[in-house]
Structure 1
Amino acid sequence: MFDDTLIDASEGSAFSVSRAEGTSSIVLVCEHASNRIPRSLGNLGLDEAARESHIAWDIGAASVAEILSETLDAVLVSQRFSRLVYDCNRPPEAPGAYPEKSEIFTVPGNAGLSGADRARRANALYHPFHDAIDHVLDERIAAGREVVLVTVHSFTPVYFGARRDGELGILHDADRRLADAMLEAAREADLAGVSRNYPYGPEDGVTHTLMRHGLARGIPNVMLEIRNDLISGAPGQSEWGVRVAGLLMSGLAGLKANEARA
């Protein structure tokens, strides 16, 4: 469903897949990995500061996801264009998939989009990205492999003027198995600043990827939110990549222990 009227062939695919043959049961997803805007859309009417800010992408999330992929030998599916063009953690019918305003920023290039405009963006970005995730998951399930879905995000420390002091959010929708196990692992490790469904929860519409790919298949799933000032540079990205990898492995071990006792 590649749409060359939005993305020129020279700009590449809507998504990338790293470590396709990864041996881990974990399938990593990074929906907001990039702040890139297709050339056909110019700059969406935004200045450089806005395009580099948290409204355009999850700062540091892609690097942490890549470190997790390398550390765990896990496949990673990443979006290659800005969530301002299409937020791939939202379904096509959601207004937030094409935000006219993001926090305090108005996005002129998203104002008054027609149905055809929205369909063009969904066809170019949303559908190829989620089809790629479907392919990775279904191929592994068909091969009889254990599969766990983990999505990697970051959040801004100041939102609408309010300070957010938490460091790591472990989010879930109806399936809380892996989140519970990871939160228990965080408590046992005495990690501060780790909270359930922080700074968002299912009621905020942020669990679309978990629902579409995790809940629909009955596989353990979790969404991770790391405060972006902690991972804006390489040292923090490395530190949090190692920390989150440890939590994931401890959480998976706890999940298996819980299932064995059930």
Structure 2
Amino acid sequence: MVPAQVEVLSKADGECVAVERPNGPSPLLVICEHASRRLPERFGTLGLSEEALRSHIAWDPGALAVARGISEALDATLVYQRFSRLIYDCNRPPESPGAMPEKSEVYDIPGNARLGDEERHARTKALYIPFHDAIRALIRDRKARGQETVIATVHSFTPIYHGKTRAVEIGILHDEDSRLADGMLEAAEAGPHRYKIERNEPYGPADGVTHTLILHGVSNGFRNVMIEVRNDLISDETGQGVMAGYLTGLLQQSLDA
């Protein structure tokens, strides 16, 4: 456990948030909260094995590559978190147990056990607040230059969860505002049926996964969507490129509509 008085990130760790194409002209603002499995140096391994640190509990494998593919294709701004969600899950508010989980699926996380209020506050201050402040700043800049903003967050999920196989391949998720999701689902239905695509699967609003959408999309009246891709489909560059191209098409059709 990192002492409360010690900074969460060192100078060697660098900033927690990265922004690519900050002035991209597309209305789409692409966000990837679970882009990295990297841990800040002072946390070591959090008491986890290498297997656990490479697994889906630490990050969303392939999600950043897909998000980058969409960003490149549409010349859209991309924002992503540079550190593992095991330290802080930026798609969860500070009061959520899932923000700094003690257990994820079958893995206990020793370095997150019985965290005190000071340490939880330190992680929130170091990772969650700067990440979402960076998104707010981008939105303010876009408003100032009269640029429309549409929010899309990109995630991946494991094919087998708690021993159960998931048949869904792409999830199109939304909270109370379904405009962008509706458009993507309609585009998917109208085109070649290449993937098994479901609305609000394998997660939905009841699972608390729409935090970023609510914070930056719903609250501002922006169209928004959360994209979940089964990670076995994006385990290599070829799969990532194919998926990025497919999702770019769905997003573009929905934006145009």
Distance 2:46 2:6 in 1: 18
Q: 1:130 is matched with which residue: 126, 129, 132? A: 132
Per-residue deviation, 1:142:
2.3
Counterparts of 1:1-262 in structure 2, within 5 Å, are 5-191=7-193, 192-254=195-257
Identity of aligned residues (%): 54
Distance of 1:124 and 1:213 partners within structure 2:
19
Shift in Å, 1:145: 1.2
SS of equivalent to 1:45: coil
Deviations 1:170-217 (A, max 9, x none): 000000011011100000013230110010000000000000000110
- Displaced runs of 4+ in structure 1, greater than 4 A? none
Give the alignment's TM-score, normalised by structure 1: 0.95
Name the CA distance, whole Å, in 2 between partners of 1:208 and 1:142: 25
Structure 2 letter corresponding to 1:48: E
Matched pairs, number: 252
In the aligned structure 2, how far is the partner of 1:141 from the partner of 1:171? 25
Residue 78 of structure 2 aligns to a residue whose secondary structure is strand
Query: Which amino acid is 1:168 matched to?
Result: I
> How far, CA to CA, are the matches of 1:153 and 1:204 in structure 2?
15
Question: TM-score, normalization: structure 2?
Answer: 0.96
Q: Give the Cα separation in 1 of the matches to 2:223 and 2:66.
A: 21
| CA–CA separation in structure 2 for the residues paired with 1:231 and 1:142 | 36
Letter in 1 for 2:101: P
CA–CA separation in structure 2 for the residues paired with 1:43 and 1:236: 29
Q: Provide the C-alpha distance between the structure 1 equivalents of 2:38 and 2:94, rounded to a whole number of angstroms.
A: 20
Q: How far is the alpha carbon of 1:10 from its aligned partner? A: 1.5
Letter in 1 for 2:220: R
CA apart distance, 1:4 = 7.1
State how far apart, in whole Å, the 1-side matches of 2:13 and 2:118 are: 22
Write the distance in 1 (CA, Å) between the matches of 2:256 and 2:192: 18
Alpha-carbon distance between aligned partners in 2 of 1:223 and 1:129, rounded to the nearest angstrom: 17
Cα distance in 2 for residues equivalent to 1:130 and 1:97:
14
CA shift in 2, pair 1:171/1:11, >3 Å:
same
Tell me the distance in 2 between the aligned counterparts of 1:247 and 1:78: 21
**Code of the aligned partner of 1:234:** E
Q: In 1, distance between residues paired with 2:152 and 2:52?
A: 28
